[in-house]
Chain A
């Protein structure tokens, strides 16, 4: 057997005087292998990547163990040796590409720095090699990219540039730390398939791919390590870990995904209670025990060191669990989803809603028009959940803001409680309207005022909703969202992300709440927490008989909870219908592309092969299909006439030149090599 590219043994890392955040990590990656490291945020995944490069910063230091890259010991290497290793043996791709490049240096020059390290300043012109690598990361016109500044590229393009920069080092170890987090799902899928392609063509390059997204990991990894609280708790091939997970943590993580095939749409999602503990708050014995459904008292809480033991299916599949071989499947949530009250009445009726923004650069320059909503029509029935889906910039949030009164439409109507609210900002709405339509925002860190205690926030919301806001009412509200009673005295800074979103939900339901607008309410949360918040939202919805407008880019979640789906592309509704209709066939080419980007945590899943599109420009002529520049099914008519609205079935509409029958065929797929 050849020597592994990366060998980590018993790695321990601490920051400052704190407890170890990595508590004995063992990990090896062979040449040509892609290793996926998964786990919730706060488990120490990124710390592993930085420790490998000995770049911990912020008072971080290796307190134990050994790291070797290509046989060179990282811990004892001199600064100069380390620099040579960084430039040639290993390269890293970071999470946020927008800040990873020097804003004051052209792309071409930044890319040239790495090959120049090898050849020296006076060496051969590296442009040829750079262009070749840019082509490899799927740029159609690499010459143009060289002259661009970083701010002129999109997030997906930037991340491909960063990957190209890493490849130029011709490393034997490539580290990718959440390389697609924050990018649109379609772009995310593109980057993942690119990483897969690179892995296959590289001939011996080892890859460490860090992600919290099990679907992405399934797509790229040969072997997977599951991390929890600073340790790898399970390791095996991608198939072993994802298909027959051994550790309760891995099982619970997989079960909490909304796309989990064992949970039919509409049923309850499974959750993992609690949070990843901080290094100094670890339970004695198994660190996962306090959150574990299979925890056995007297066994799991004994303060003895745990070791990796072979899983029942063998073949190098190991896990760190005292009940290994005896772990039950995660329990199904006891309470069934309650039926919702629906009487055919409509809570809100949106017709031809339009909104566009004029943006003007700060320092002068040409103004440009951005269409956020273009004659959007839909209706939400009482007690229904309608989802708005689409990539960033599709206008989802603008519609949500217009309905809440934070923005006003240019034209069109939105009828609610017998009045048109499309052009009524919140300041001019009646109290009845305001308490009838409430909003839950995306970012848990900003959704609550850090200066106020939870009790004050809820009291104010209750009073605005026409109630007294007594301590009992506040306590009842806190209980309803399953927060501890003492939460009223805390400030938002003392709560976790999931807890903050619960408070936001409580605030929204402080009044009558006919319609809750949930603008990406869980997209910033870990899947385990996400499931709990979604279930809470649904329970309270049923109790109040409210309808929900669910704004999301997570199609699996949308499929799981919605009754109706509206697909938006650059402000235009390209498809709408019931959940079954939109997720079934026929489907709009854009819906098709969105669905193709969804990847279940299954290494055997074959992803449809969608053509890559570099440019995401809008169509010049108004009225034409907005999706035309990116469409893989375009017809000659698309460039000349506006697309017709086709109705394949009652309540289902598709905006496309193709006849519904033509949209029945599936995309060709690629098989994983």
Chain B
């Protein structure tokens, strides 16, 4: 069963970039679908001004009388008569600006803190871990509500809020991963060879802790989409008239009985992005096996 590992097959590709470039990830069906959805929305977000048939804030009084889908407005309009398709397209821009920024910032802070804690141990680790415990003690939404109501809803405040709530979790994961690898012989060998901590982190440890972090990144991106959508839904998102999927859903809820599409279409857009992130996470998990 465990016959010698003397495989004559071509060398295994384990590097992160190599894995993305290689076809292993794309061999997973869920990853392919997830990636396709994300790329679709990314293209939509970038090309919004050219793709969208209308200005997302332009009001069509004629249409507002009957917001149902029509030849002029394929997906109909909202109550104010703004073209729903254009608003969803521009809403993708908001999502694809806020989410990557927030998640990237949370991972940067969390990963650095986690690595530092695991590598230096002792007081550094204790203080960082306690700080993380304190941040994790706040129920996420409560923290947002405090932060956003006191400092006002703006792009950067949302980014800061997401960073504060996600960084401790990322740090914990990173810390565990680094601790698991830190004691392995190849890291010891690098230390014994007098390599600098920075080199050891970058060249010896990081390439081997990638997969769980990537999976976590995908999952957290999904949560962030949910969260930012929820903030918008609660009226704490970006200030109007910026089109924001969560905010669009709440605008439509009251007309649910007559014009369900106003709420359902942006809800479907949010969900599709979350689903894509979760599928991608599953794909990475499969590839790692």
- Interface residues of chain A, those whose CB is within 8 Å of chain B, are 15, 21, 41-42, 44, 46-47, 275-279, 281, 404-406, 426-427, 429, 431, 434, 438-439, 441-443, 446-453, 460-461, 464, 489-491, 493-497, 499, 504, 507
Interface hits, B1-26 → A, CB 8 Å:
1-7, 9, 11-12, 14-15
Given contacts A406-B191, A426-B194, A453-B11, contact A446 B5 (CB under 8 A): no
Q: Can you name 20 A-B residue pairings with CB atoms under 8 Å?
A: A42-B1, A42-B2, A275-B3, A275-B4, A277-B4, A278-B3, A446-B184, A446-B185, A449-B204, A449-B207, A450-B14, A450-B208, A451-B207, A452-B207, A464-B195, A489-B11, A491-B11, A493-B5, A493-B7, A494-B9
Instruction: Please name all residues of chain B whose beta carbon is closer than 8 Å to the beta carbon of A450 when the two chains form the complex.
Output: 14, 208
Q: Is B192 an interface residue (CB 8 A)?
A: yes
Q: Which residues of B in the span 189-220 have a Cβ within 8 Å of any Cβ on A?
A: 189-197, 203-204, 207-208
The CA of A434 and the CA of B195, in the complex, are separated in Å by: 10
0 or 1 for each of B98-111: is its CB under 8 Å from A? (1 = yes): 00000000000000
Q: Given the complex, which residues of B lie within 8 Å of A46, measured CB to CB?
A: 1
In this complex, what residue of A is CB-closest to B196?
Answer: A427
What is the distance, in angstroms, from B263's C-beta to the closest C-beta of chain A? Answer: 48
Of chain B, the residue at the smallest CB distance from A15 is B1
Cβ A497 vs Cβ B194 within 8 A: no
User: Assuming the A-B contacts A449-B204, A497-B5, are A434 and B185 also in contact, with contact meaning beta carbons closer than 8 angstroms in the complex?
Assistant: no
**Interchain CB contact under 8 A, B11 and A494:** yes
Query: Cβ of A452: which chain B residues have Cβ within 8 Å of it?
Result: 203, 207
Closest residue of A by beta carbon distance from B205: A449
Interface mask (B22-66 → A, CB under 8 Å = 1, otherwise 0):
000000000000000000000000000000000000000000000
Contact at B189–A447, with CB atoms within 8 Å? yes
Beyond A443-B185, A446-B184, A489-B11, is A277–B3 a contact (Cβ under 8 Å)? yes
Query: Is the Cβ of A494 less than 8 Å from the Cβ of B192?
Result: no
- Contact B4–A42 (Cβ < 8 Å): yes
Residue of A nearest to B197 (CB): A427
* B188 contacts chain A at the CB level, 8 A cutoff: yes
Q: Assess A493 versus B194: contact at CB under 8 Å? Given A21-B1, A406-B188.
A: no
A47 to B9, CA, bound (A): 26
- Which A residues are in CB contact (< 8 Å) with B204? 449
- Is A495 in contact with B193, judged by CB distance below 8 angstroms? no
The distance in angstroms between the C-alpha atoms of A438 and B11, with both chains bound, is: 28
B156 on the A face (CB < 8 A) = no
Per the CB 8 Å criterion, the residue count for chain B at the interface is 29
Complex formed: what's the CA distance from A545 to B120 in Å?
37
Chain B residues, CB < 8 A from A434: 192-194
Give the residue name and chain of the A residue nearest to B15 (CB): A451
Residue of B nearest to A491 (CB): B11
Beyond A279-B3, A443-B185, is A426–B11 a contact (Cβ under 8 Å)?
Answer: no
Choose one: A426, A448, A494; the contact of B191 (CB below 8 Å).
A426
Asked if B186 lies at the interface with its beta carbon under 8 angstroms from chain A, I say yes
Counting from the closest, the 10 A-B pairs by CB-CB distance are: A451-B207, A275-B4, A278-B3, A441-B185, A42-B3, A434-B194, A449-B186, A446-B184, A447-B185, A446-B185
Q: How far is the CA of A442 from the CA of B190 in the complex (A)?
A: 15
Contact of B14 with A451 in the complex, beta carbons under 8 Å: yes
CA distance A654 to B288 in the complex (A): 53
A429-B194, A464-B194, A490-B11 given; A441·B188 CB < 8 A: yes
Q: Nearest Cβ distance between residue A338 and chain B, in whole angstroms?
A: 28
B194, A496: Cβ atoms closer than 8 Å: no
Residue of A with least CB distance to B14: A451
Q: Which residue from A21, A442, A496 sits with its C-beta under 8 Å from B4? A: A496
Q: What's the Cα separation between A427 and B188 when bound, in Å?
A: 12
**Separation of A489 and B9 alpha carbons in the complex (Å):** 12
Q: Are A442 and B185 in contact (CB under 8 A)?
A: yes
A445-B47 Cα distance, complex, nearest whole Å:
49
Q: Which residues of A contact B193 (CB under 8 A)?
A: 426, 434, 438, 460-461, 464
Q: Which residues from chain B contact A275 at a C-beta distance below 8 Å?
A: 3-4, 6
Instruction: Identify B186's interface contact among A404, A427, A431, A448, CB under 8 A.
Output: A448
Chain A residues with Cβ below 8 Å from B197 are 427
The answer to whether B208 and A427 have CB atoms under 8 Å apart is: no
CA distance A489 to B193 in the complex (A): 22
Evaluate whether A495 and B192 lie within 8 angstroms (CB atoms) in the complex, with A42-B1, A448-B186, A451-B207 already known: no
Residue pair B189, A439 in contact (C-beta under 8 Å)? yes
Asked if B6 and A496 sit within 8 Å, CB to CB, the answer is yes
- Point out the residues of chain B lying under 8 angstroms from A495, CB to CB: 5-6
Residues of chain B lying within 8 A (CB to CB) of residue A504: 189
A493 touches B6 (CB 8 A): no
Shortest CB distance A275–B (Å):
4
Interchain CB contact (< 8 A) of A427 among B2, B7, B184, B194: B194
B195 neighbours in A (Cβ, 8 Å):
464
B1 adjacent to A439 (CB under 8 Å)? no
Contacts of A442 in B (CB 8 A): 185
Complex: A460 Cα to B190 Cα, angstroms: 10
Other than the known A276-B3, A405-B191, what 12 A-B pairs have Cβ atoms closer than 8 Å?
A42-B3, A427-B194, A434-B194, A438-B192, A439-B192, A446-B185, A449-B203, A464-B195, A496-B4, A496-B6, A497-B5, A507-B189
Closest A residue to B16 by beta carbon equals A451
Question: Can you name the residue of chain B whose Cβ is closest to the Cβ of A403?
Answer: B192
